[in-house]
Structure 1
Amino acid sequence: MRHRIWLLAILASVSVGASPLRAQALLPHTTRINFGNLEEQALNLAREAAQLAQFEQYDLALPRARLAAQLAPRAFQTQGILGSIYLRKEKYPEAIASLQLALNLKKDEPTILFSLGAAYLRNKNYPEAINNLKKGLSIEPKAATALFDLGNAYFLTKRYEEAVNIFNDVLTLDNKFWAATNNIGLVEYERGNVDQAIAKWQNSLKQAEKIEFLAAEPTLALATAFYRKGDREKGLELAVKAMKIDPRYGKISYLVENLWGDRLVADVQVVLALPQVKQILDESDLSTRQVPRVRRN
């Protein structure tokens, strides 16, 4: 999960009424517009865009969302959905601009505030991320994903105690939210509490198993911690397992992107340089280069 920001569902205020089959149809080259009721048509397009986004078909969703926002620029739903899709496509300035328009049109909509906070977080504007997330949570305090984003923002600004408190609040709402437990481990490791970090990452793996998810990140984090403590055999075993689950975690840039701190990054480099681990990474890179890129529709 990049930054482990679990984005909220595309604005719930626009119900998704289009069927999956209809929603996945390509837009015609020329869209016929009935100027009799532009806003209704815009909302229908926004619903289709939201449906496509749920299927991660963002390249198809974005043109619909753009057209919807052009047809009904004063509808907070169209601007909100456009901004949310920009966020999914990692176009953060565009996401912030559209979501800010949506917020100006409907200031008490928590999903807009949560999405705007996530966009600011991904764009590394942490004060604005915290500000918008806290405003949204004052309206909807039991939004676990938004709380998680807030915890990440505190972590990134080294407000460690506040981050841990927020992650624990997330777990109170959802005791299977393994990423929150994982991130407490990240905090503890940066604070020098290696044993506490190990306990959190072990719990995180148990939580992930309950939802039948193989979590590479806490597996690699545990490998690093055990290796540092001198249990090299166990560290190597876990590192190999983590790389087989998801070799992206073998890249330092990806780990930094996923909030790994300086101390953990420094220690994991020793593990990633081990021949057995490096072999898996090299084979993964070779496989990636040999497989032709297929454009996602």
Structure 2
Amino acid sequence: MPKHISLISLLIVCSLWSMPKAAHAQALVPHTLQLDPTKLEKQGLSLAQEAAQLGQFQQFELALPRARLASQLAPQNDKVWFLLGGLQLQTKDFDAAIAALKKAQSINPKNPDVLFALGSANFQQEKYQAAISNYQAGLQLKPNDPDGLFDLGNAYYMLNRLPDAIAQYNKAVSQDQKFWPAINNIGLIKYEQGDTEGAIKQWQSAVSIDKQAAEPLLALAVGLYNKGDRQQALKMGESALRIDGRYGDLDFLKQNLWGDRLLSDTKKFLELPSIQAALEQSQRPEPTQ
């Protein structure tokens, strides 16, 4: 093909440009779309709110696409990245969660909740020392946060730093006297140390705060049963499993930091006929109306 344009071709091109265009041809005219960043961010925040609401109902398949799009529409909003990371953490997508949370941290280094979430990501991957560093950094920004203190205690517990764990649990309770999970976990430690009486007192205290808390109620039942108070223990154990049948699963108990001694005693307790009956009842589907 020749590199020059012939006169005829040039005339044809010029005549085409000078001819009136049909209305439908205007769709082919290129133009630059002007986007309003403020409107885009507003749409992103609206999507993030939807994602947060869906996440509350465990509808992660619907929540995650909205959160991802929100992070694109509002890329400088740390709360949107924090939401995305939190949802990914819920679905065990740890690498993606950490990337989103670090993005949130780069935008707002003073958000302690981001550091606590990073600690949770590391904790769930059994990177307990890294989790401790995250929790400590979060507590420097928010030193009296009961959840942060509790999580730090759990990380110490997993590294068998039991006095440090108890100290953090007690700090959590000092900030919130109704924070029964910390009281419960002190009981877990005491039981493993052979202090059954001390453990029972902790679990009794936890149950007095929340009578619907299945975990300390079951632990208390096991402790009382081994102590010899069997009739009361059986009633408590049956009640605990009716409240939440998941606590009849030893693997679930292990995930909740129950130690070897308590797990061994619980295994025997769960094999008792009346406890088995309560467990079977808790696993039956609800009758449809």
Q: TM-score, normalised by structure 1?
A: 0.79
Distance across 2 between alignment mates of 1:120 and 1:259: 16
Q: How does 1:239-278 map to 2 (within 5 A)?
A: 239-278=237-276
Question: Does 1 or 2 have the higher relative contact order (CA < 8 Å, sep 6+)?
Answer: 1
| Alpha-carbon separation, structure 2, partners of 1:188 and 1:34 | 65
**Distance across 1 between alignment mates of 2:146 and 2:222:** 29
Q: Percent identity?
A: 43
Q: Which residue of 2 aligns with 1:154?
A: 156
Cα deviations by residue, 1:73-112 (Å, 9 ceiling, x for unpaired): 4442321110012223343332222112222332221111
Cα distance, 1:59–1:291 mapped onto 2, change above 3 Å: farther
Change (3 A) 1:200 1:34: farther
Matched with 1:180 is 182
- Correspondence 1:35-184 to 2 at 5 A: 35-37=35-37, 38-54=40-56, 56-184=58-186
TM-score between the two structures when normalised by the length of structure 2 = 0.81
CA distance in 2, matches of 1:244, 1:282: 9
Q: Among 275, 278, 281, which residue is 1:280 paired with? A: 278
Give, in whole Å, the separation in 1 of the partners of 2:76 and 2:128: 28
| Distance (whole Å) between structure 2 residues aligned to residue 291 and residue 82 of structure 1 | 36
Output the CA distance in 2 between the equivalents of 1:94 and 1:193. Answer: 42
Q: CA deviation at 1:57?
A: 4.2
SS in 2 for 1:176: coil
Find the aligned partners of 1:51 and 1:235 in 2 and give their Cα distance: 40
Q: CA RMSD in A?
A: 2.2
Instruction: Name the aligned partner's letter for residue 143 of structure 1.
Output: D
1:1-58 Cα shifts (integer Å, max 9, x gaps): xxxxxxxxxxxxxxxxxxxxxxxxxxxxxxxx98321334323322332344345544
Structure with greater helix share of residues? 2
Contact 2:144 2:175 in 1 (8 A): yes
- Cα displacement (A) at 1:219: 1.0
Instruction: Single out whichever of 102-111 and 160-169 deviates more from structure 2.
Output: 102-111
1:189 pairs, out of 166, 188, 191, with 191
Alignment match, 1:219? 217
Q: CA contact under 8 A between 1:190 and 1:264: conserved in structure 2? A: yes
Q: Which residue of 1 aligns with 2:7?
A: none
Amino acid of the structure 2 residue aligned with 1:140? K
CA distance in 1: counterparts of 2:271 and 2:253, whole angstroms: 15
Q: Tell me, yes or no, if the aligned pair for 2:84 and 2:100 is still in contact at 8 Å.
A: yes
Q: Could you list the runs of 5+ residues in structure 2 that have no partner in the other structure?
A: 1-32
Q: Residues of 2 paired with 1:173 and 1:54: CA distance?
A: 26
Q: Any idea what the Cα deviations from partners look like across 1:236-284, whole Å, max 9, x if unmatched?
A: 2221121121111001011011111111101101100001111222333
8 Å contact kept, 1:42–1:72: yes
| Deviations 1:164-194, CA, capped at 9 Å, x for gaps | 1111101111101111111110111111111
